[in-house]
Each structure stands twice: as C-alpha cells, then as structure tokens.
C-alpha cells in the first residue's frame, strides 16, 4: 500500500490524493515513485476517464523535501569529486518524467490546489492539463533567486513569455486569483468550494467517451510540443543542476547546513521584502 498518497474511484474520476499533510506534501523519493504508479494505474483503469490530483492538509505541495535534498547535495560537494552534470541530469529526470506523466497520460488530468504550491510543486502541478485553485492558494518559484530553474519548463506555455519572465526573474509569489487572471491556472474558486468544484469539473469531462477525451487532449498538447516543449524541458532540467552548483548555489547549501534551511531561506529572501506589498 502506498504511504504518501491514496487513490479513489467514483463517477468516472480516478482521484490521487497526496496524504503527507504534516509535511506539506513535500516531494520525496517515495512520493515520486508512488505518484508514478498511481498515474499509470489511473490511466489504465477502464472505469475512469479523468484523473484528479488533489492533496490533504494546508498545502498542496511545498516543493522538494529540502531536508534530504540539501543534505544530499552537501554530501555530494564534499565527496572529493567534481559535479557530474550528466549524472545530475539523469537524477532529476527521474522526477521530471513522473511529473510529465500528468501531461502525457492519455486521459485528462486536473489538479485541485490549496495553500502553497511552490518550487518543485509547480514543476509537478503545471504538467496537469488544468489547475483549479482555492482563492487562498499561492504559486511561485522562489528557487529562481539562487538555487534552481523550473525543470518541466511549463511557465511560458501557460502564461506567455513576458509573464513567465516577470515571475521567474523575481521569484515572487502569485496569489491564486492573479494566477487565474494571467493564465497560469484555469480558475480560482472559494476555498471551501475547491474540492467539490474540481470534482464536478472532472465528472463533467468524464461524460465524454474516453476516445474523444484522448483525441482532444492530444490535439491541444501538440501545439506546445511543436513549440519545443521537450527541448525546453531538457534545458530546464540541465540548468537546474547548474544553478545548484554555482558558487551562489553552493554557498546557499553551506549556509543552510550552518543555520538551518529555514533561516537560510529567510536570509535569501530578505532583500525582496514582503511579497504582499509588491506589485503584481
């Protein structure tokens, strides 16, 4: 039985529910592997026509579990060998390939997002065909400030070149209503209506024959594929490794070792001030 998520079936909808609520559903090796298996199961399920990804707790996904990932990088940098870019790309691609299952699944995928969905959480959720969020949800890629790039490279395809630059070149937070306005997500709804609204949308899609859903999804996705999504994804995954091994990236990891990750993040973000006071 999976330990980081559970699956449910009802009314033609295959639900995948992230269940590490106390850890803000941060990404771990185990979650990666169990999510891959769950998406494959939903895509193959003859009784389901739509896959709905949602999460328990106050946050949909607060990114990678940085306790283990920063520790792994710190160990890597002290091992006496120089950084191996090919090995790094291969390692991060194990995660990226799982997120892209939401994009390449035959069946439509919908994500219902509450609370924080940031950093690696956006790498995951932006691969879904549609995102519905509670009005209190927030998106963003703060690692762009010193320690990463979006691996799945979905930002430009969702909201255009200048908007993607606006938020990636600052790492600023994007509240859900603004994310809907600029096209990063489909819509924002009252928090207490999020789960029922997302389920009703999924059930409405599930009224169509599976073959129609497959063809229509492929037709839409092919536009992004023709625009170079695969090559952008490869570059994003490679650059993510490079960003983590610049002098600034290594300094951030070492500082996190000295004072703890939360304090290192506070120091990283301090020059940017209060997200909420900044223009969108």
pLDDT tens sequence for the chain (280 residues): 999 999 999 999 999 999 999 999 999 999 999 999 999 999 999 999 999 999 999 999 999 987 655 566 555 655 667 889 999 999 999 999 999 999 999 999 999 999 999 999 999 999 999 999 999 999 999 999 998 999 999 999 999 999 999 999 999 999 999 999 999 999 999 999 999 999 999 999 999 999 999 999 999 999 999 999 999 999 999 999 999 999 999 999 889 889 987 888 888 888 887 644 443 3
pTM higher than 0.75:
yes
CATH of residue 52's domain is 3.90.226.10
Kindly give the interhelix angle for 261-269 and 247-259, rounded to the nearest 10 degrees: 130
**Range of the structural domain that residue 261 is part of:** 5-277
Kindly give the interhelix angle for 261-269 and 66-77, rounded to the nearest 10 degrees: 90
User: What is the DSSP secondary-structure string of 189-214?
Assistant: E-GGGHHHHHHHHHHHHTTS-HHHHH
C-alpha span between 262 and 259 (Å, rounded)? 8
User: Total domain count for the chain?
Assistant: 1
Our separate counts of H helices and E strands in the chain read 12, 9
C-alpha span between 273 and 99 (Å, rounded)? 32
C-alpha span between 237 and 232 (Å, rounded)? 9
Strand order across the beta sheet in which 138-140 lies? 116-118, 138-140, 174-175
Helix, strand or coil for residue 178? Answer: helix
């Amino acid at each position: 039985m999976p330990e980081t998520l559970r699956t449910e079936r009802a009314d033609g909808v295959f639900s995948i529910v992230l269940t590490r609520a106390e850890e803000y559903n941060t990404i771990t090796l185990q979650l990666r592997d169990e999510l891959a298996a769950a998406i494959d199961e939903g895509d193959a399920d003859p009784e389901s026509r739509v896959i709905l990804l949602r999460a328990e707790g106050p946050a949909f996904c607060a990114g990678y579990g940085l306790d283990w990932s920063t520790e792994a990088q710190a160990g890597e940098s002290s091992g006496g060998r120089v950084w191996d870019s090919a090995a790094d790309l291969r390692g991060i691609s194990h995660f990226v390939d799982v997120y892209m299952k939401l994009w390449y699944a035959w069946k439509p995928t919908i994500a219902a997002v509450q609370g924080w969905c940031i950093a690696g959480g956006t790498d995951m959720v932006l691969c879904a065909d549609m995102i519905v969020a509670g009005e209190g949800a927030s998106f963003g890629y703060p690692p762009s400030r010193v320690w990463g790039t979006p691996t799945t490279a979905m930002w430009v395809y969702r909201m255009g070149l200048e908007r993607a630059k606006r938020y990636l070149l600052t790492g600023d937070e994007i509240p859900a209503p603004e994310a809907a306005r600029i096209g990063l997500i489909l819509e924002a709804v009252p928090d207490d209506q999020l789960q029922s609204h997302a389920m009703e949308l999924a059930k409405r899609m599930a009224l169509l024959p599976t073959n129609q859903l497959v063809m229509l999804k492929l037709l839409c996705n092919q536009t992004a594929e023709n625009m170079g999504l695969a090559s952008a994804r490869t570059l994003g995954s490679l650059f993510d490794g490079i960003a983590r091994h610049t002098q600034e990236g290594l300094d951030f990891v070492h500082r996190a070792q000295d004072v703890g990750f939360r304090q290192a993040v506070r120091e990283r973000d301090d020059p940017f001030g209060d997200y909420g006071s900044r223009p969108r």
